[in-house]
Amino acid sequence: MTIGSKKIFIDRLPSTNSYAASLLRKGKVQDGTIVHTGFQTAGRGQGTNKWESEPGKNLLFSIILFPGSLKAERQFLISKVLSLGIMDFLSTFVDDVTIKWPNDIYVRSDKIAGMLIENAITRDEIEHTIAGIGININQAIFRGGAPNATSLRLLTGKDQDLSGCFNKTLSAIDLRYRQLHFEKRSKFSEEYLSSLYMYNKWAEFSDAHGIFEGRIISVADSGRIQIEDRKSRIYEYGHGEVEFL
């Protein structure tokens, strides 16, 4: 098992991603090393977003990865691996788990997990990846203003064993990570696409030109999403360039 072969627990941290980055600056780190905490004082999401989590209620961790000869242009494969692994874990508890592009995890229309992936690139290859992951497990009240946050506690009606959930999550991600190394990339790329929230369903989107109706038809290895409109025109977007309405 690569993911979780080494675990570092610190009760309270500003950010597990920041701590993981400090480990890399200090020297050699094992592939699959986990930094996890009970509480983050400055947990980060995408862009300027913050990740809300009560102390000791949820899974908050970062994974340090060395994905070998993975080209920078295909870096989104890592996001696919992690998203599918988390979805696999959550699907053992609840139905209707999907991935909202690029890497939020939803149960029906509510967000239960998210991640912040930071890649270091040397020349045209990924030198290392730090993936910060937050999964809502036992939190019952969300005060941070997120309109659609949920947790396993809210979905199942009972508290879950946090340690057991953590180990199962790492095992699920490890299985997917091995697929990356054993060249089963087309398989999980197809699974990622079919697991997308609102995949191939007509919905309203907003981009720099306004609101339009479209449907997701593909996601490239670079991470750019392709959306077809009602006139069969296909548009491609990077993260932050299009919004689900």
pLDDT digits (tens, 9 = 90+) for 194-208: 999 999 999 999 999
The pLDDT of residue 47 is above 90: no
> Any idea which of 43-52, 173-182, 192-201 has the lowest mean pLDDT?
43-52
Contact 243, 211 (CB under 8 A): no
- Identify which of 114, 90, 132, 102 has the alpha carbon closest to the alpha carbon of residue 196: 102
Q: What are the φ/ψ torsions at residue 17 (nearest 5 degrees)?
A: -65, -45
Predicted local distance difference test score (pLDDT) of residue 50: 63
> Any idea which of 35-49, 115-129, 148-162, 187-201 has the lowest mean pLDDT?
35-49
Q: What is the CB neighbour count within 10 angstroms for residue 14?
A: 13
Tracing tokens 């939020």 back to the chain, one arrives at: 104
Three-state SS for 58?
coil
Predicted local distance difference test score (pLDDT) of residue 88: 97
Average pLDDT over residues 81-91: 97
CATH number of 7-194: 3.30.930.10
Supply the pTM of this predicted model.
0.93
Q: CATH assignment of 203-244, given 2.30.30, 2.50.20, 1.10.287, 3.60.60?
A: 2.30.30
pLDDT band at 143 (very low <50, low <70, confident <90, very high): confident
Contact 136, 112 (CB under 8 A): yes
The pLDDT of residue 187 is above 70: yes
Domain boundaries, the chain: 7-194, 203-244
Percent of the chain with pLDDT strictly greater than 90: 77
The yes-or-no answer to whether 7-194 and 203-244 have a common fold is no
> Any idea which of 35-49, 77-91, 178-192 has the lowest mean pLDDT?
35-49
Predicted local distance difference test score (pLDDT) of residue 126: 93
Strand partners, 34: 7, 63
